[in-house]
Amino acid sequence: MAQQNRPVVYFIALVIVVCGACIGWWLRSSVAGRIFQAPVISGSMATAAPGPHYALQCYDCKIPLMVDATTVSDENLPVCFNCGASNSLDGISVSTASVLYTEVSDEDLRRWQRVVFDYQGSRYIKRIMGLPGEKIAVEDGELFVDGKLYQKDLKEFDKLSTLLFDSHYQPLDSTYNMLQRFGVRADDPGWIFTLDKVFAFDAAEKTHLQWMDYHHWNVVAGFVPPVKRGAPTAVFDYLPYNQFISRSQLNFVDDFIVDLTLRIYQPGVVGLRLLDLQLEFDFKQFNVRINHPNNVRESTSFTKIKWKKKGTEVRLRAGRLDGRLVIQMDSFHHQSGIRRTELTGDFEMDLATRKTPFSISANEGILDLTSLKIARDIYWLGADYTAGRWEPEWVAETDSFLLIGDNQPVSRDCRQWGQGISRETILGRVVD
């Protein structure tokens, strides 16, 4: 009889265990999963969490554009970061934003998380830059942790970067179309601009590498002296959200990532130039040759591609990031150390070497450049909003977090407060 009842007892015990586990999970979820809301009252975390702003669509290239509502007006019209067009504010109302946040455990507080916290009677939203006990420093736009240059991966870059250009959004005004943005040398006939509004390369026979240069345009609103739309310039630490905000100096930014989509019909060699770095992707031999300054060269192989008769799409990311060359193409990942492009101190000379941050070339075959995006890295500033070295000793000496705003030129945060934020005042992390 006892043996006959044993399965029933086991079943009842199992039900009790499962029910207990479910109740425990529900109790934990009801606490940790509670969602709270916090208003965003300033642009210190723009554009991840913008303050009062205008949300526009550029009338010419149609790209979405977000600008600080306190810095633009009918006299100071917002300038599109993608094509340089000035946009009217007629019929557009000021938008406000809020963030959702949830309670977070100590072990889940990680670098680059956005958190909500209380400080001196006010509620703030910032991003975790430094963790308790770390020795933090910033200099020339770079972050150093415990004396070493912090090197972000591409996912971290994507959280912090600023979009500069997107070929999907092309101006309707032919004066500022892609033919004006890209320069093709007269003796390089392989590149053409098609009716589909993409650049294509077609060379039946192998030639030299035929280069097409991307010219970065000056889209800084309120630039002094004023510049004509479409004027070339270098990449600076300008955030398009900050229209017409006065700054004593803009800083050159040499860290950027290029996102390319190619449709290759007949493979050959595709070259990329990233300031003073030159890459050659040999899609016949399936290797990439990297030419550094001072005649330093390296080569590495990538996974073979199976070519399709109607063309094969190849997605490629390449760029300069935190002292490294970074390449990603499907399952292929590569990184290698690079030297900084040093400033000479002569502004005009430094500017001239940076007006063409990116170029693309091909020497044979048939391909379309169907998509191109360029984004720059965040440029860290010190407590005085300059590129000089800033090293807060109190971060390493106290059990506190270093919290910083993404909008480096305007954010008031731990840099200016002169102290870290204790764990007790952090209310939770922002829900992505």
CA torsion 232→238→242→245, rounded to 10°? -80
12: pLDDT confidence band, cut at 50, 70 and 90?
low
The CA-based angle 122-124-130, given to 5 degrees, is 125
**Residue of 385 and 29 predicted with greater confidence:** 385
If one counts the domains in the chain, the total is: 2
**Does residue 299 sit in the same domain as residue 322?**
yes
Q: Which of 151-160, 253-262, 277-286, 388-397 has the lowest mean pLDDT?
A: 388-397
How deeply is 321 buried, as exposed, middle or buried, from its count of CB atoms within 10 A (0-12, 13-18, 19+)? buried
**Does residue 423 sit in the same domain as residue 322?**
no
Distances in whole angstroms, Cα of residue 76 to Cα of each of 6, 163, 221, 261, 351? 82, 22, 8, 36, 26
Chain segment 238-274, per-residue pLDDT in tens: 999 999 999 989 999 999 999 999 999 999 999 999 9
The structure's pTM equals: 0.91
- In 3D space, the residue among 78, 84, 77 whose CA is nearest the CA of residue 61 turns out to be 84
How far apart (Å, rounded) are the C-alpha atoms in residues 175 and 368?
A: 23
**Does residue 142 sit in the same domain as residue 254?**
no
What pLDDT score was predicted for residue 23?
44
**Does residue 258 sit in the same domain as residue 341?**
yes
The backbone region for 345, taken as left when phi is positive above 0, alpha when psi lies in -120 to 50, beta otherwise, is left
**Does residue 266 sit in the same domain as residue 281?**
yes
**Does residue 204 sit in the same domain as residue 182?**
yes
pLDDT at residue 186 is higher than 90: no
Distances in whole angstroms, Cα of residue 421 to Cα of each of 129, 257, 424? 11, 32, 8
Contacts of 155 (CB under 8 A, 6+ apart): none
Structure tokens at 172: 């309707």
Average per-residue pLDDT in the chain? 92
Residue ranges making up the domain that contains 189: 162-376
**Does residue 359 sit in the same domain as residue 398?**
no
How far apart (Å, rounded) are the C-alpha atoms in residues 406 and 46?
A: 6
Whether 46 maps to a domain, the answer reads: no
**Does residue 202 sit in the same domain as residue 343?**
yes
**Residue 268: CATH number of its domain:** 2.60.120.200
Final residue in a domain of this structure, among 343, 358, 376: 376
pLDDT at residue 173 is higher than 90: yes
What pLDDT score was predicted for residue 399?
83
313, 248 Cβ separation under 8 angstroms: no
**Residue 391: CATH number of its domain:** 2.10.109.10
27: pLDDT confidence band, cut at 50, 70 and 90?
very low
Q: How far apart are the first and last CA of the chain?
A: 58
324, 336 Cβ separation under 8 angstroms: yes
Whether 57 maps to a domain, the answer reads: no
Final residue in a domain of this structure, among 376, 393, 409: 376
pLDDT at residue 102 is higher than 80: yes
How far apart (Å, rounded) are the C-alpha atoms in residues 115 and 125?
A: 6
The one-character DSSP state at 338 is -
**Does residue 282 sit in the same domain as residue 389?**
no
Cα 384 vs. chain centroid, distance in angstroms? Answer: 24
Chain segment 370-382, per-residue pLDDT in tens: 999 999 999 999 9
**Does residue 186 sit in the same domain as residue 152?**
no
Whether 139 maps to a domain, the answer reads: yes
How far apart (Å, rounded) are the C-alpha atoms in residues 44 and 406?
A: 6
Whether 404 maps to a domain, the answer reads: yes
Whether 26 maps to a domain, the answer reads: no
Helix (H) / strand (E) element for 313: namely strand 312-321
Contacts of 62 (CB under 8 A, 6+ apart): 169
226: pLDDT confidence band, cut at 50, 70 and 90?
confident
**Does residue 334 sit in the same domain as residue 288?**
yes
What pLDDT score was predicted for residue 19?
53
**Residue of 141 and 6 predicted with greater confidence:** 141
What pLDDT score was predicted for residue 16?
55
How far apart (Å, rounded) are the C-alpha atoms in residues 368 and 198?
A: 7
pLDDT at residue 194 is higher than 80: yes
* Ranges assigned E (strand) in 78-181: 97-102, 114-119, 122-130, 136-139, 142-145, 148-149, 162-166
24: pLDDT confidence band, cut at 50, 70 and 90?
very low
Helix (H) / strand (E) element for 27: namely helix 2-32
What pLDDT score was predicted for residue 206?
86
Whether 11 maps to a domain, the answer reads: no
**Does residue 275 sit in the same domain as residue 337?**
yes
Whether 40 maps to a domain, the answer reads: no
pLDDT at residue 9 is higher than 70: no
Whether 109 maps to a domain, the answer reads: yes
